[in-house]
Amino acid sequence: MPREFQIYAKDPAAKSNVGALLHDVPLPDGSLVVMAGAVQKDFVHGVKKTSSKEYENSRRFNGTVRVLKRK
């Protein structure tokens, strides 16, 4: 069973900055999510924690690569 990757609208008025759920994307094993452009600026994203025994012995890798421009 794949984990779900959520994408929410940003809501500056909300305490957590999270607005309405826009997309719920299933991520099967081996999936790679690439967020380009202004995705992180315009939306809130994440994978919800689970206490399901199904994921008890599974591994998850989370890496971040950024390109920085000099001013």
pLDDT for res 9: 92
**pTM of the predicted structure, to 2 decimals:** 0.69
pLDDT for res 63: 79
65 assigned to some structural domain: no
What are 15-41's pLDDT values in tens digits? 888 889 999 999 888 888 888 878 888
7 assigned to some structural domain: yes
62 assigned to some structural domain: no
Q: Has residue 51 got a pLDDT over 80?
A: no
pLDDT for res 8: 93
b/e code 33-59 from CB counts within 10 Å (16+ = b): eeeeeeeeeebbbeeeeeeeeeeeeee
Parent domain of 33 = 3-55
10 assigned to some structural domain: yes
69 assigned to some structural domain: no
